[in-house]
Amino acid sequence: MRATRILFLFFWFIGILAYTSFCANVTYDHRALLIGGKRRILISGSIHYPRSTPEMWPDLIQKSKDGGLNVIETYVFWNKHEPVRGQYNFEGGNDLVKFVKLAAAAGLYVHLRIGPYVCAEWNYGGFPLWLHFIPGIQFRTDNEPFKREMQRFTAKIVDLMKQEKLYASQGGPIILSQIENEYGNGDIEPRYGPAAKPYVKWAAAMATSLNTGVPWVMCQQADAPDPIINTCNGFYCDQFTPNSNQKPKFWTENWSGWFRSFGGAVPYRPVEDLAFAVARFFQRGGTLQNYYMYHGGTNFDRTSGGPFISTSYDYDAPIDEYGIVRQPKWGHLKDVHKAIMLCEEALIATDPQIKSLGPNLEAAVYRAGSTCAAFLANVGTSSDATVNFNGNSYHLPAWSVSILPDCKNVALNTAKVNSLSTISSFTREIFKEDSDSLEGSSSGWSWTSETVGISKDDEFSKVGLLEQINTTADRSDYLWYSLSIDLDDDGGPQTVLHIESLGHALHAFINGKLAGSGVRDAAKKLDVPVTLVAGKNTIDLLSLTVGLQNYGAFFDTWGAGITGPVRLNGLKNGSTLDLSSQQWTYQVGLQGEQLGLSDGSSGNWNSQSTLPKNQPLTWYKIMQ
């Protein structure tokens, strides 16, 4: 009993030690970030806390540490933390403080990318929808209402971190922060015209004024104002140079794979290529690189951006969606990190001496006093090569880098993967589950139908067609547009319902029956042959958003839904009936959503062994 208590106290003390051992000023010079006055090589990985559960966090962080990372990077997700203006949520899966503290407890640093625009394939790029309704607001430009809100939220996060003493200057793990995100991209900043530059300057000054005691970065912002460090995002960043010779070379997003879109291919980036890119970056003077993503995870609920970003955000990352290390990716990168860290003293001591060893062949040597580290690269894609370096001969496979921590012996070549490849039993289980298709085996499934058309009592009527996001305020992905019309005759066999919409998906029902559907571009101009009757006909159009836009200039204003015209074409007498300016009835959301069916908790579920066929708008549920 006593021994257990002593042991417990010992671990508690070690925990406190690990946690408080950061207390250090963070600065930078042309070579690296300096933590407590010492330049550091930083190997970082993105884990977005809302893309896993809090129960998973300690394990994900530990696996990152075991994989050789010394920094965890995350964005901060504004729409998670402030779903209603002024009402903050930092509980459960939103417990950012806990996440940062867990990284600290594992002895890792944190890079907090506040944004608060984050892109990230996250709904609306992380902006809360209410922001759109602030009078006079224009996002991401020199606009007072926007700047006021952006500053308020950024300061809120900084204050929270300060209160909890989470900045390195206070003894915490946060060594770096980001403001904005890729505003300098060629398809973004120029589109905002003359107001763009003042906005960038304002954002830089605003962030600096918050006195975090640690440096700020702006990624993909070639003219980031001092003292902000401009950083690179991409598949390769070895050719990047910062905008001042006083700033270090940082890589904030090394894409370990890519995100997945609905119906799209599953992205894959071979570890040999990823390892090559990392080694080239350090060969060419880089000192901080971050895997985007190290654990991609899952887009829970309606957090996917888009449109059409899948729920899985696996990203082909070194730790897979379910938190299991992906081999050989995780293991090979661990070996790469080890080899790079063996070079740390030489890397931080000096700048590289680069010399050509022949076409596509390059050596970089870091020599300071008695320490020496070298990187030998073959950037050719088709032939292996043998090079002579310091009197020795080295074999370099195509597209590879050899790392020599003593300028002589090869610790690792990026193209030679030694780490074991394993397929976990969990993954096999998932494949098995997948192969039991819905139709093949209905066991366990139950279902219930959604009503076609207006079914809730909060419907309302308006003349004309309404833009969807302004109407739903993203409370639901669904908006019904319903109309009842009286016709003298059935219109004839050539009648076509013509619908123009901004997307993202659309179902058209005539007199309660599904007449046609469209997704993506097919939802933007839909022509549906229809059968009408003489007398009263109902037209029910169900418009869907599939994740709100998260990237692009003015993406917040792109809109969705049926903006018209909506017409009946090809009527008997060759005429057309324009329905756009009729009195339409609207319903935000489905009846099933109101009943809480998406939580599976209530409703009249059917559980016959055969599932319904050809029946649109059906809810399905399975208990696991």
For 57, 214, 483, 519, 540, the CA distances from 566, given in Å and listed in that order, are 49, 55, 11, 17, 12
Check residue 540 for interaction with ligand GAL (CB under 6 A).
Answer: no
For CA atoms 104, 107, 109, 113, the dihedral sign is: negative
320 is a contact residue toward ligand GAL (CB under 6 A)? no
Nearer of residues 188 and 204 to ligand GAL, judged by Cβ: 188
- Based on CB atoms, which residue is closest to ligand GAL, 296 or 328? 296
* Least gap, CB of 415 to ligand GAL (angstroms): 26
Choices 21-29, 117-125, 171-179, 516-524; region in contact with ligand GAL by CB under 6 A: 117-125
DSSP for 203-233 reads HHHHHHHT--SS-EEEET-TTPPTTSEEEEE
Q: How far is the CB of 42 from ligand GAL (least distance, A)?
A: 19
* Residue 233 found at the interface with ligand GAL (CB under 6 A): yes
- At position 409, the amino acid (one-letter code) is N
**Strand 478-487 with 535-544, pairing:** antiparallel
Which residue is closest to ligand GAL by CB?
119
Query: What is the x/- site pattern for ligand GAL, positions 6-35, by CB under 6 A?
Result: ------------------------------
* Binding test (CB under 6 A) with ligand GAL, winner from 42, 120, 417, 452: 120
Closest to ligand GAL by CB, 543 or 550:
550
Q: Which of 466, 435, 475 lies closest to 563 in space, CA to CA?
A: 466
Closer CB to ligand GAL, residue 154 or residue 185? Answer: 185
The continuous run of DSSP H or E covering 149 comes out as helix 144-163
Residue (118 or 361) nearer to ligand GAL, CB? 118
User: Considering beta carbons, is residue 121 or 593 the nearer one to ligand GAL?
Assistant: 121
Burial of 368 (0-12, 13-18, 19+ CB in 10 A): middle
Question: Which segment (113-121, 207-215, 340-348, 384-392) binds ligand GAL by CB under 6 A?
Answer: 113-121
**Strand (E) or helix (H) holding 374:** strand 371-378
CB of 8 to ligand GAL, least distance (A): 42
Q: Could you tell me which residues come within 8 angstroms of residue 166 by beta carbon, excluding any fewer than 6 positions away?
A: 97, 100, 101, 104, 110, 172, 173, 174
Nearer to ligand GAL, 120 or 553 (CB): 120
Candidate segments 42-50, 116-124, 150-158, 464-472, binder of ligand GAL by CB under 6 A: 116-124
Contact 604, 448 (CB under 8 A): yes
Indicate which residue of 82, 149, 253, 450 is catalytic.
Answer: 253
Per-residue binding string, ligand GAL, 245-274, x by CB under 6 A, is: --------x-----x---------------
Between residues 119 and 385, which has the closer beta carbon with respect to ligand GAL? 119
* Residue 288, CA distances (Å) to 76, 159, 218, 270 in order: 20, 26, 14, 21
Q: Which region among 114-122, 126-134, 207-215, 394-402 touches ligand GAL (by CB under 6 A)?
A: 114-122
* 3-state secondary structure at position 262: coil
Least gap, CB of 192 to ligand GAL (angstroms): 17
- For this structure, is 253 an active site residue? yes
Tell which one of 82, 121, 316, 450 touches ligand GAL (CB under 6 A).
Answer: 121
User: Cβ contacts of residue 624 below 8 Å, gap of 6+?
Assistant: none
Contact status, residue 290 vs residue 45, Cβ threshold 8 Å: yes
Measured between alpha carbons, how far is residue 310 from residues 260, 315, 351, 543, 571 in Å?
6, 11, 43, 19, 40
Nearest-approach distance from CB 178 to ligand GAL, in angstroms: 10
Rounded Cα gap, residues 50 and 181, in angstroms: 19
Determine the interface stretch with ligand GAL among 102-110, 119-127, 462-470, 587-595 (rule: CB under 6 A): 119-127
Q: Which of 73, 82, 182, 450 is catalytic?
A: 182
**Annotated catalytic, 144?**
no
Site for ligand GAL in 170-229 (CB under 6 A): 181-182
Q: Using the minimum distance from each CB to ligand GAL, give the nearer residue, 120 or 539.
A: 120
Give dist(CA 132, CA 466) in Å, integer: 16
Would you say 294 and 64 are in contact if contact means Cβ atoms under 8 Å apart?
Answer: yes
Residue 335's H or E segment, with its range, is helix 329-342
The alpha carbon of 75 is separated from its chain's Cα centroid by a whole number of angstroms, namely 9
Q: Which stretch binds ligand GAL (CB under 6 A): 115-123, 269-277, 453-461, 588-596?
A: 115-123
Contact 618, 612 (CB under 8 A): yes
Question: End-to-end distance of the chain based on CA atoms, in angstroms?
Answer: 40
Give the residue numbers marked as catalytic.
182, 253
Interacting residues toward ligand GAL by CB under 6 A: 118-121, 181-182, 233, 253, 259
